[in-house]
Amino acid sequence: MNRIINDPDDVVEDALKGLTAAHPDLLAGTAHPRVIRVAGAGAVGRVGVVTGGGSGHEPAFVGYVGPGLLDAVAIGEVFASPTARAFEAAFKAADGGRGVACLYGNYAGDNMNVKMAVRLAARDGLAVRTVVANDDAASAPPDERGKRRGVAGEILMWKTAAALAAEGADLETVIAVAQKTIDATRSVGIGLSACTIPAAGKPNFSIADGTMEVGIGHHGEPGIAVRPIAPARAMAATMMETILADLPFARGDDVAVLVSGLGATPVMELYILYAHVAEILAEAGIRVRHRFVGNYFTSLEMMGASVTLTRLDAELDRLLGAKARSIGLTVTGDA
Amino acid sequence: MNRIINDPDDVVEDALKGLTAAHPDLLAGTAHPRVIRVAGAGAVGRVGVVTGGGSGHEPAFVGYVGPGLLDAVAIGEVFASPTARAFEAAFKAADGGRGVACLYGNYAGDNMNVKMAVRLAARDGLAVRTVVANDDAASAPPDERGKRRGVAGEILMWKTAAALAAEGADLETVIAVAQKTIDATRSVGIGLSACTIPAAGKPNFSIADGTMEVGIGHHGEPGIAVRPIAPARAMAATMMETILADLPFARGDDVAVLVSGLGATPVMELYILYAHVAEILAEAGIRVRHRFVGNYFTSLEMMGASVTLTRLDAELDRLLGAKARSIGLTVTGDA
């Protein structure tokens, strides 16, 4: 395994040193070694917005801490949930006196630890409410949405909720807009090659050369189907069929589109995929209002990509366009 | 080869469709199919800033077109120079009436085509002056700097020159600041795995598992040495020894640091590398004024990273901090 690491057990600690050293204008450490908060004043006088999750998905999760985005993040080991204590510490780091919204992905470990952390925070009088992202349309049937995983759609949920919090909304309103965002969001991924957790030293799943796994999860969770590798336009068609039918999206809808690489896919290929996604949306009479293409939510050096669509109303459209600054997503409001 | 492409011969055309579709606020097509210009008014009344180069290095080169950065870019096939006609068309697309600065990397094909394009443009009365980036310290000895390749340091040269052009400087002054920037810039790369040009279908070089190539070029050009894979802190030490001694950088210097992934290296590992780079600089008494960590200048899905240092005076420091917006680099001026 040719990688840029020291002791494989130290990758998270070593990366956090680099993250805080590289971005003193965005990120600040806290008393908890696995909690990073926004530099500066933070959420004083407004609702705090928090997430947490395993490492290895960078720029998620820590890369979305910044003005107009997340106030704090709890950080787990590679592909593992943060602890309950880390989530609790993140809540406290994000507390500006008006409660905290914890917006996270639907994984067993995260669910358990967030629940525990919410109870711990409540004992200290801190009100935390949660929204669980379940945008991965491939991970369970439509009538079992509660079983679906959260993937790159979480980013759009963080963006809208944080923008509303910045406007001074109360906790209930921030939670409602986060829920509205994720309810209007569907994602699907395609995996082309596996990845290796440094401490494991070899992939814990495999994708054979010449095949692709439709609906693969961010940690190699099995998808819907293993198929022969197809041209980009066929990949896009397969992905769009899955997500358009699921919400369903309809002619006349306004949407945001997020195409994220899973880590190793060359950036030019993400744009090839986006070109086909845009064509399919144009043919379907769906109007793209916001476009994000890049490595937004990765899985170490997995090859492949995810496509995320969010149906927008005027409020979500406005909140996605609000100014924000972070490692993973900066909106200048200039365009 | 598991990749997101259609016909391997169409990857550049297909990617450009996606790029222009995804970023209508930044990028506009031109009459030349391999030239992209900045959206909006462009360089009217000021010096135009242009580059060009092969595809497969995204976000370079096209990803640095935008307000406060490049006005136009000529785009080649994967790892191949743009044509002279493409460079000429890019000059014309960037012409705002005060001449054009063409700031590009030192490769045989680019040198030949830029020279031809400058002559073609001169016939039409368009003044174009050039600066050739040669920041790759590993690619030739210090007394043969003219043979060195241009790598990620080009980005910092584009940034300072474009910021000065935006202030209204004349062509001679813009060229001088670009030359000053690249003269104060040194880079080195380490390759951990090879990459595959889609139209070739297999790597045209190899890096054995368990080894790393110090000083590798952006197209797999041989480096200084093939060594056993080392811990990140040793990789950082090797890279920093090479570039610190070369300029040389000295105690009390102010610098900008750019750590770029070569494509497939997980983002967390780039931050692990940056943490050690920052430690080494602190020990050397060198102050970091600007930090850039991410996939800024890639080589398809090569694993590895490059480190770039630029020694700053007050002018370069100011110009790097000026507002700019592009796919690859956005400076908000808020921090």
d(CA A239, CA A223): 12
What backbone phi and psi angles, to 5 degrees, belong to A189? -120, 155
Size of interface A-B (CB pairs under 8 A): 207
Annotated catalytic residue: which of A32, A219, A276, A290?
A219
Predicted pLDDT at B334: 80
Q: Quote ipTM for the complex.
A: 0.97
C-beta separation of B189 from B138 below 8 A: yes
Distances (CA, A) of A192 to A3, A58, A232, B5: 20, 19, 12, 12
d(CA B11, CA B16): 9
B333: left (phi over 0), alpha (psi -120 to 50) or beta: left
Annotated catalytic residue: which of B32, B218, B219, B290?
B219
Contact B22 A293 (CB under 8 A): yes
Containing A80, the helix (H) or strand (E) segment is none
What backbone phi and psi angles, to 5 degrees, belong to B190? -125, 130
> Does B147 score more than 80 pLDDT?
yes
Least CA distance to A213: which residue of chain B? B2
Nearest CB to A14 within list B209, B210, B275: B275
> Does B335 score more than 70 pLDDT?
no
Predicted pLDDT at A236: 98
DSSP bridge partners of A261:
A305
Contact B303 A300 (CB under 8 A): no
Q: Which amino acid is present at B143?
A: D
DSSP bridge partners of B74:
B35, B52
Contact A209 B2 (CB under 8 A): yes
User: Do β-strands A72-78 and A225-228 pair in parallel, antiparallel, or remain unpaired?
Assistant: unpaired
Segment B269-277 shows an average pLDDT of: 98
Is A228 touching B (CB cutoff 8 A)?
Answer: no
**Confidence band of A335 (pLDDT split at 50, 70, 90):** low
Q: Which amino acid is present at A287?
A: R
> Contacts of residue B212 in chain A, CB cutoff 8 Å?
2
> Does B74 score more than 80 pLDDT?
yes
Q: Indicate the burial class of B315 (C-beta count within 10 angstroms; 0-12, 13-18, 19 or more).
A: middle
Is B327 touching A (CB cutoff 8 A)?
Answer: yes
Nearest CB to A15 within list B16, B231, B272: B272
Predicted pLDDT at A334: 80
Containing A39, the helix (H) or strand (E) segment is none
Q: Which amino acid is present at A295?
A: N
C-beta separation of B218 from B297 below 8 A: yes
Q: Which two tokens stand for residue B92?
A: 């014309």
C-beta separation of B85 from B31 below 8 A: no
CATH (one of 3.40.50.10440, 3.40.50.300, 3.90.1300.10, 3.65.10.10) for A8-183:
3.40.50.10440
Segment B64-86 shows an average pLDDT of: 98
Taking a contact as any Cβ pair under 8 Å apart, which residues of chain B between 62 and 121 contact chain A?
63, 67
User: Cβ atoms within 10 A of the Cβ of B107, count?
Assistant: 24
**Confidence band of B1 (pLDDT split at 50, 70, 90):** confident
Condensed to tens digits (0 to 9), the pLDDT of residues A249-279 reads 999 999 999 999 999 999 999 999 999 999 9
> Does A15 score more than 90 pLDDT?
yes
> Does B20 score more than 70 pLDDT?
yes
How far does B54 lie from chain A, in Å, by closest CA?
12
Angle between helices B267-283 and B232-246 (to 10 degrees): 50
List of residues 6+ apart from A156 with CB closer than 8 A: A181, A185, A256, A258, A308, A310, A320
Predicted pLDDT at B78: 97
Q: Indicate the burial class of A10 (C-beta count within 10 angstroms; 0-12, 13-18, 19 or more).
A: middle
d(CA B288, CA B274): 12
Mutate: best of B195, B226, B262, B271, partner A, most A CBs <10 A: B271
- Check if B57 is active-site: yes
Question: Chain-wide mean pLDDT for chain A?
Answer: 97
Predicted pLDDT at A176: 98
Is B228 touching A (CB cutoff 8 A)?
Answer: no
**Confidence band of B204 (pLDDT split at 50, 70, 90):** confident
Contact B17 A263 (CB under 8 A): no
Predicted pLDDT at A333: 86
Segment A302-311 shows an average pLDDT of: 98
**CATH class assigned to B185-313:** alpha beta
Helix extents (H) in A167-227: 171-183
Is A314 touching B (CB cutoff 8 A)?
Answer: no
**Confidence band of B333 (pLDDT split at 50, 70, 90):** confident
Least CA distance to A26: which residue of chain B? B335
Predicted pLDDT at A317: 98
Mutate: best of A20, A25, A271, A299, partner B, most B CBs <10 A: A271
- Check if A23 is active-site: no
Peptide bond into B142 cis (omega under 30): no
C-beta separation of A62 from A39 below 8 A: no
Give residue limits of the domains in chain A: 8-183, 185-320
> Does A326 score more than 90 pLDDT?
yes
Distances (CA, A) of B328 to A111, A212, B193, B266: 35, 29, 23, 17
Least CA distance to B26: which residue of chain A? A335
How far does A194 lie from chain B, in Å, by closest CA?
11
Condensed to tens digits (0 to 9), the pLDDT of residues A20-69 reads 999 999 999 999 999 999 999 999 999 999 999 999 999 999 999 999 99
Could you confirm whether domain A185-320 is CATH 3.30.1180.20?
Answer: yes
Q: Indicate the burial class of A187 (C-beta count within 10 angstroms; 0-12, 13-18, 19 or more).
A: buried
Condensed to tens digits (0 to 9), the pLDDT of residues A113-140 reads 999 999 999 999 999 999 999 999 999 9
User: Do β-strands A211-214 and A225-228 pair in parallel, antiparallel, or remain unpaired?
Assistant: antiparallel
Distances (CA, A) of A236 to A150, A232, A240, B195, B289: 20, 6, 6, 24, 42
User: Do β-strands A72-78 and A287-294 pair in parallel, antiparallel, or remain unpaired?
Assistant: unpaired
Mutate: best of A216, A255, A267, partner B, most B CBs <10 A: A267
Contact B210 A12 (CB under 8 A): no
